[in-house]
Amino acid sequence: MKDGTYEDYQLLQQYEDEFIAGTADRVLSHLLSLENSMGGYKVSRLEHALQCATRAWRDGAGEEMTVAALLHDIGDHLAPENHGELAAAVLRPYVSEKTYWVLKHHGVFQGYYFFHHMGGDRNAREQYRTSEHYQACVDFCEKWDQSAFDPEYDTLPLEFFDPMVRRIFDREPFGPHTT
């Protein structure tokens, strides 16, 4: 790389820009791959994501948080133990600090509903009590995430959310977040 010229890097930047422009397509494609997963649950991971986003949208969450709700579990296949961090990392350049924080930590907040049934501490989320985003994450899990496993729910289709996803990934990056 040290021997590259200005012209070399201008050309590479063009290719990089084209690749970045396809991020929404790749994310949506990956989301579709979640259709055939969620062993043991009554809905697939895709259906869970769509239900979570539908609930957020109908609750007036706004486009950014609705897209976060749609994509909150996209890391389940690659990073089951820290899937929230993966989802947060994917969206980080395009969303607010609050949305990033909620995505990053939603796994431990969701644990409030089941950790105690598996020998864990359901109150593990209390370690984040002093965060200004604590209540937003509690609300995310309570209102949308933990209830989005209902096979009878009137869920909106992915096509409804597609333009929202594209608008989020078309944003100028916010720059690095501090946490």
- For the chain, list the domains and their CATH numbers: 6-169 (1.10.3210.10)
pTM: 0.92
What gap in Å lies between CA 150 and CA 145, rounded to an integer?
11
Q: What is the pLDDT of residues 123-151, one digit of tens each?
A: 999 999 999 999 999 999 999 999 999 99
**Does the pLDDT of residue 179 top 70, yes or no?**
no
- Confidence at residue 120, expressed as pLDDT on a 0 to 100 scale: 96
Q: How many residues does the chain have?
A: 179
pLDDT at 175: 62
Distance in angstroms (rounded) separating the CA atoms of residues 177 and 179:
6
User: Token pair of 119, please?
Assistant: 């020998």
Segment 22-44 shows an average pLDDT of 90
Tens digits of residue pLDDT in 39-60: 788 999 999 999 999 999 999 9
Q: Which residues contact 100 (CB under 8 A, 6 or more apart)?
A: 88, 91, 92, 177, 179
Structure tokens at 169: 């990934």
CB 100 within 8 A of CB 177: yes
